[in-house]
Amino acid sequence: MTTAVLSEQRRNGRLLRNIGFTALPLVIVLWSLTDLTLGRELVTWLPYLGSGFMMNVIISLCAMTLGTTVGAVFGILELVPFKLVRYPIVAYVQVFRNAPHLVLIFATTYIFPFEIVVAGNYLPFPDWLKAVIGLAIPASAYVAEITRGAVLSIPTTQWEAAKGLGFSRGQALRWIILPQCLRRSLPPWMNILASITMGTSLASLVGVHELLHAATDASTSVRRLDFTIIAYIVVMAAFFTLCYPIARLTLHALLPDRPPDPTPRAAFQDGLRI
């Protein structure tokens, strides 16, 4: 295959992707324009749906912040030479990595109280905050695995070289190992971000006012089948516009910057690999 054909294919692929990216919003706009009563209904409900979507974004960001902080610490603790520290954390990671997100959201919602007493003051403990914790638990388990894997992927000779230069173990971790880990763990971290963002819709099942919940509310009060359809398409389009760029960015972070080498030498090596 020549380079021209390859670049042609790549350009076609990009065109297709861009169409794909705008297809869902396009369907919504065109349909609202062809049936104006439907369009007017949708416009009146859009702010309500928007407020729901804000909740998704807030839950996702909070859960990822909390999960990443806890997970990074746990990941490093998984490599500590003391079994007493390591084993409980390995157990935590194994159990919560394998647990369904929905089960954890149910767990935090039903187990935590609806208000906490802090120094005699009753502070409300809202459901969305419980959903944040419910999603932060699996996020922390995934991040712990990524951190552990990234630290282990750095060759041991680097630790030795750092020691030779007079770095302590902590200093070597902070200044030499972790900066490299950061770059390696970015693509899997973004996968988790996308997965947790999509997981926020599960919070609707415990009564958090988020996008899916808002769409269900809207469709039950309008009582039109076409409105129900378009409301759910809006929900899909919203999640798609949030998650698709994350997926594309992950792919970019994974791929090397230069295009594949089209020289016969590379093709020859390709053949040799069999």
Which residues would be at the binding site for another protein (CB under 8 A)?
16, 20, 23-24, 94-96, 98-103, 106-107, 110-111, 194, 198-202, 204-205, 212, 216, 219, 225, 228-229, 232, 235-236, 239-240, 243-244, 247, 267, 270-271, 273-274
For residues 55-75, one letter each, b for 16 or more C-beta atoms within 10 angstroms of the residue's C-beta and e for the rest, the string is bbeebbebbbebbbebbbebb
Cβ proximity to another protein, 7 vs 9, nearer residue: 9
User: What 3 state SS string does 51-77 have?
Assistant: HHHHHHHHHHHHHHHHHHHHHHHHHHH
What minimum distance in Å lies between the beta carbon of 121 and another protein? 26
What minimum distance in Å lies between the beta carbon of 80 and another protein? 23
Cβ proximity to another protein, 77 vs 212, nearer residue: 212
DSSP state for residue 261 in the 8-state scheme: P
| 192 CB neighbour count, 10 Å cutoff | 22
Cβ proximity to another protein, 23 vs 33, nearer residue: 23
| 139 CB neighbour count, 10 Å cutoff | 28
The type of residue at 254 is L
What minimum distance in Å lies between the beta carbon of 85 and another protein? 21
What minimum distance in Å lies between the beta carbon of 270 and another protein? 5
Q: Where are the beta strands (DSSP E) in the chain?
A: 115-118, 121-124
Cβ proximity to another protein, 23 vs 85, nearer residue: 23
What minimum distance in Å lies between the beta carbon of 9 and another protein? 10
Distance CA 13, CA 7 (A): 10
Cβ proximity to another protein, 107 vs 253, nearer residue: 107
Tokens 């173990």 found at: 169
